[in-house]
Amino acid sequence: MRRNAALFVTISVLSGFGGSAMALVAGIWILDLTGSSGLAALAGLCVYAPTLAGPWLGALVDQLPRRGLLVAANLTLAAVLPTLLAVHGPAQLWLLFTVCAVYGVAYVVVDAGESAILPAALSPAELGHVNGWRSSAQEGVKLVAPLAGAGLYAWRGGHLVALLAAVLPLLVAIGYAALRLAPTESVSARRRGAARAGLAVLFGSASIRRPVSLAATAIGMQAFTTAAGYEIVTAELGLPATFLGVLLSAQGAGSVAGGLVVGRLITRFSPTTVAVVGAALFATSCLGRCVPWWPAVLTASVVAGVGLPWTLVAAVTAVQTHSPDDLLGRASATANTIMFGPIALATPLGAAAVLLGARPPLVLAAAVCLTAAVATGRLSRPDRPRSGRDSTRSPQPAPTGT
């Protein structure tokens, strides 16, 4: 079991490094080729747009061998990235957008497949811990990978970054192949219902619905306050825009620290309780950013870094521990769509709301998150995962080997 846990954390580091580096470099590359910030921003849209197809891609995860699908998705990335060697001018711009879109589809499939395969590799008690460690690893990588990717791009251009990024999915595929998994149902025995079955799982269980809803609220409000964060730094504090890098690093440090302890909290309490606390912490961070003093804003960034991952890890763990095994892929992908889909709407709304000033959007975000946390806390009953699976899931044997 420790072997599987170490493999999952290693996979998170490798995939997170390659993805974070390429996400930044793709935008810079497009900007250099075209001089258009709008076209550069479309690279990010290509990566995140496939999230909206989560319920359907998740159904694919439930209908195919999950380990094989994870390996195939990473091998596809390794094969596609070298095509960027053909990019030499604006005429090959379509290749960059295509690779970004392939990345986006692969992310959705891998996220759903990994969430679905984790319960076959780890005991229920280990899920929260490993999800927390993975979150810490991913956030830690985000502190380094963009700088490394930008440095390599400045040194030798995008071709070198693409080649190096192609090696990492190969290593990730090997990691998935090395996992020791418990026996599960054959593919033919799995239900092949419509993609809406994922929604039925999420909304049919309060133990899943509540933490997922809180995570969606907190993540959406984070996007809503993005423009306000810029305004606080530049207009309210009178600091250069580069101070945002300091705040992002502080948030990343908070995420690393929070991820190390969230698993223990989920085991002791419940995913819903941890999600409630995480949403409340994020609300507190929004109010902290309203204080016209840079140390307070810096501290608020650390608090946000703790709160946001707590809501996300709690939601992911709830889906893994309370979903039927044969619907876990589509339930996980649908949960990702619900949690991250609001970003597309919240970001432009936040950009418009900042016209009223930097503080009103932050206060509104804090009020929304606190209201959701309080309402969920009052409605919740103990939903700590039992020693086996939730009653909606068939019992699974323990993983073989350690």
Amino acid type, 38? G
Residues 6+ apart with CB under 8 A from 35: none
| 8 A C-beta contact, residue 288 and residue 182 | no
184 φψ region: left (φ > 0), alpha (ψ -120 to 50), beta (else): beta
Q: What is the DSSP string of 384-399?
A: ---SS--TTS---PPP
pLDDT of 360 reads: 95
Neighbours of 298 (CB within 10 A): 17
Q: What is the 3-class SS of 288-348, one letter each residue? A: HCCCCCHHHHHHHHHHHHHHHHHHHHHHHHHHHHHCCHHHHHHHHHHHHHHHHCCHHHHHH
pLDDT of 371 reads: 97
Q: By C-alpha distance, which of 249, 203, 258, 8 is closest to 119?
A: 8
pLDDT of 329 reads: 81
Please state, in angstroms and rounded to a whole number, the distance separating the CA atoms of residues 201 and 8.
25
Q: Which residues of the chain have pLDDT under 70?
A: 1, 37-38, 41, 183-195, 241-242, 245, 380-402
- Whats the size of the chain, residue-wise? 402
Q: Is 170 exposed, middle or buried (0-12, 13-18, 19+ CB in 10 A)?
A: middle
Residues 6+ apart with CB under 8 A from 163: 81, 82, 85
pLDDT of 188 reads: 42
